[in-house]
């Protein structure tokens, strides 16, 4: 396991073939020094990661650094050397870019004309396209990592740094925020792809064009918005932006990677075409709808890692007291260092989970469930939803509640609901049996080639999210084994029989968020079914176990 290295001044020391002459940047996980080649007297920037690496981590560092060092492109900062000082302090020797960064060229808060940013954007896109063709994902696209060369060209830096520091235990609050500000939903879920870099570049372009951040708030709030919140149209923030440009940017900000452009090069071509007034810009005319249909809420805050100032600016923000803030909670620090999991990440074990919902998660729930529901059924008696009974007459209205009762398992489905993106909730009480829950996006009824999701809560305090694929072949239905997407114990659940729990599902595109008693308990991404009917169910541990679960106060909000 890596250990934290105390902040040192390495001026005068030798790292490889370079002697360090002065400190030019410092962040929570790295320091950047100006260095001079011992023999050639040429200058370079030496980035020293503030961590000691274990043997396994050293192997990973060498592998990543070796891959990055092989990148040869006119718009990528070259890695000249790399190694381990004193056996376990990792460092990279990089091409020196003395003229600042694009953060300085295009300051935050200033809206820039597209024609002004387009040359720099195209250079970054070209660098990313090349890296992607080498099967590399950058993972940390932001203006601070876009340096300016001696001829004004953009040089993309810090390839793979996010992965190299995976073992570090130390993070600066503002660095974390700066990184997560541009993170794609799938990267926050621990699954970065080339499309994640495309999304991050889209966030940068959005910020440049309207002078405002895509999402604002606390760390968790911005993360939440990245996952679930539809991006505000550029035209809403700047009416002078052409609709064609707005379409391109909204497409690249789709929550679902499959709905973005097929490559960052295609993104660049589409934005350039839009800038020239070409209506055939590569962004589908319905992309605004598609983006909003695939969105969901999530995530983080402002500035970025090492304040390099182009690896040379005399200005320094390291004196800022805000830069001295540290992430105190170890779990949060770990999530940030890994750069892949947030408060909204998937939970893949059965350990008890604390469910003290942060204010931002409560805001997510409040936003999705505010206003008048499109569907509201007290479940006191038969209503407009036309509940369908199973073969054993499993759905019964009794004592002002809907009773879902049978032996083994009991299902109740609605006949006429076909929902895409929604918040769906109901109050559930287990009278007999072990568990019950919500059925949603059940494509069996409107479409025989789909799937169905189950949000299950047990009387013992566990919950799960599972999905079953259903097909219809040659007049016969067939279904796949139940696949568990999420399973956990939660203190949010009122355990035991005759206890009422409020179950809520918020679904947007491929993202599904779960709440119990208005407390966030987990989320998952899955595309088995993106629309369908809703329902209710109860279940026991044995096929002959008598079970009875009651439901009331069902509500649905379209999103």
**Is residue 47 a known part of a binding site?**
yes
Chain-centre distance for alpha carbon 274: 27
**For residues 384 and 376, is the Cβ–Cβ distance under 8 A?**
no
Q: What is the dihedral of CA 373, 370, 445, 480, to 10 degrees?
A: -160
| Dist CA 404 CA 438 (whole Å) | 12
CA dist 45 and 78 (Å) reads 10
**Pairs from 465-468 (Cβ < 8 Å, separation ≥ 24):** 465/512, 465/514, 465/522, 465/524, 467/526, 467/528, 467/529
What positions carry a catalytic annotation? 140
Note whether 356 and 519 are within 8 A (CB): yes
Distance between start and end Cα atoms, the chain = 44
User: Is the CB of residue 443 less than 8 Å from the CB of residue 531?
Assistant: yes
Report the alpha-carbon distance of residue 427 to residue 337 in Å, rounded. 39
| Per-residue buried b or exposed e for 523-554, using 16+ beta carbons within 10 Å of the residue's own CB | bbbbebbbbbbbbbbbbbeeeeeebbbbbbeb
Closest to 380 measured CA to CA, from 316, 432, 313, 427? 427
E strand spans, 86-206: 89-94, 146-148, 154-156
Residues 21-24: contacts with CB under 8 Å, at least 24 apart: 24/308, 24/309, 24/311, 24/312, 24/313
Q: What are 49's strand-pairing partners?
A: 30
Which residue is associated with the tokens 């494509």?
443
Instruction: Return the structure tokens found at 479.
Output: 């279904």
Residue 44 CA to chain centroid, in angstroms?
Answer: 35
Q: Is 379 left (phi over 0), alpha (psi -120 to 50) or beta?
A: left
Please choose, from the candidates 255, 250, 238, 254, the residue with its C-alpha nearest in 3D space to the C-alpha of residue 285. 250
Q: How many CB atoms lie within 10 A of CB 86?
A: 7
Secondary structure, 3-state, 211-245 = CCCCCCCCHHHHHHHHHHCCCCCHHHHCCCCCHHH
User: Hey, what are 241's tokens?
Assistant: 């932006």
How long, in residues, is the chain?
559
Residues that constitute the known binding site for ATP:
47
Enumerate the known binding-site residues.
47
């Amino acid at each position: 396991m890596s250990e934290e290295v105390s902040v040192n001044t390495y001026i005068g020391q030798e790292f490889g073939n370079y002697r360090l002459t002065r400190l030019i940047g410092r962040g929570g996980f790295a320091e950047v020094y100006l260095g001079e080649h011992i023999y050639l007297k040429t200058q370079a920037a030496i980035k020293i990661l503030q961590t000691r690496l274990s043997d396994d981590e050293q192997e990973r560092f060498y592998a990543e650094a070796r891959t990055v060092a092989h990148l040869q492109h006119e718009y990528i900062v070259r890695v000249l050397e790399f190694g381990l000082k004193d056996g376990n302090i990792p460092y990279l020797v990089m091409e020196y870019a003395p003229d600042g960064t694009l953060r300085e060229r295009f300051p935050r808060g200033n809206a820039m004309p597209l024609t002004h940013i387009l040359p720099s954007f195209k250079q970054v896109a070209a660098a990313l396209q090349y890296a992607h063709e080498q099967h590399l994902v950058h993972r940390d696209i932001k203006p601070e990592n876009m340096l300016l060369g001696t001829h004004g060209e953009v040089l993309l830096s810090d390839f793979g740094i996010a992965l190299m520091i995976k073992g570090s235990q130390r993070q600066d609050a503002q660095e974390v925020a700066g990184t997560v500000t541009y993170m794609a939903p799938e990267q926050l879920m621990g699954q970065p792809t080339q499309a994640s870099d495309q999304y991050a570049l889209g966030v940068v372009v959005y910020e440049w064009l309207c002078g405002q951040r895509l999402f604002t708030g606390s760390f968790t709030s911005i993360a939440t918005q990245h996952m679930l919140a539809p991006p505000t149209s550029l035209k809403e923030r700047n009416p002078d932006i052409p609709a064609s440009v707005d379409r391109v940017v909204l497409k690249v900000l789709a929550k679902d990677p499959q709905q973005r452009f097929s490559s960052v090069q295609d993104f660049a071509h589409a934005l350039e075409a839009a800038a020239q007034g070409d209506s055939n810009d590569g962004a589908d005319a319905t992309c605004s709808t598609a983006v909003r249909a695939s969105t969901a809420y999530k995530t983080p805050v402002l500035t970025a890692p090492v304040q390099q100032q182009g690896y040379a600016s005399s200005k320094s923000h390291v004196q800022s007291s805000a830069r001295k803030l540290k992430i105190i909670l170890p779990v949060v620090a770990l999530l940030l260092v890994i750069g892949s999991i947030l408060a909204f990440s998937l939970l893949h074990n059965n350990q008890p989970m604390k469910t003290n919902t942060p204010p931002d998660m409560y805001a997510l729930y409040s936003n999705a469930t505010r206003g008048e529901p499109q569907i509201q059924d007290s479940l006191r008696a038969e209503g407009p939803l036309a509940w369908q009974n199973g073969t054993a007459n499993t759905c019964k209205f009794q004592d002002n509640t809907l009773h879902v009762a049978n032996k083994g398992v009991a299902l109740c489905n609605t006949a006429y609901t076909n929902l895409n993106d929604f918040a769906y909730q109901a109050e559930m009480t287990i009278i007999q049996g072990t568990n019950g829950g919500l059925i949603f996006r059940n494509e069996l009824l409107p479409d025989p080639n789909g799937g169905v999701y189950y949000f299950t809560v047990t009387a013992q305090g566990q919950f799960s999210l599972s999905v079953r694929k259903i097909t219809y072949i040659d007049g016969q239905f067939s279904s796949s084994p139940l696949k568990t997407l999420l399973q956990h114990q939660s203190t949010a659940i009122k355990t035991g029989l005759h206890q009422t729990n409020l179950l809520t599902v918020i679904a947007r595109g491929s993202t599904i968020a779960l709440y119990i008693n208005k407390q966030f308990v987990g989320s998952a991404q899955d595309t088995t079914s993106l629309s369908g009917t809703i329902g209710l169910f109860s279940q026991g541990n044995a096929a002959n176990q008598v079970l009875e679960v009651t439901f009331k106060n069902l509500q649905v909000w379209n999103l």
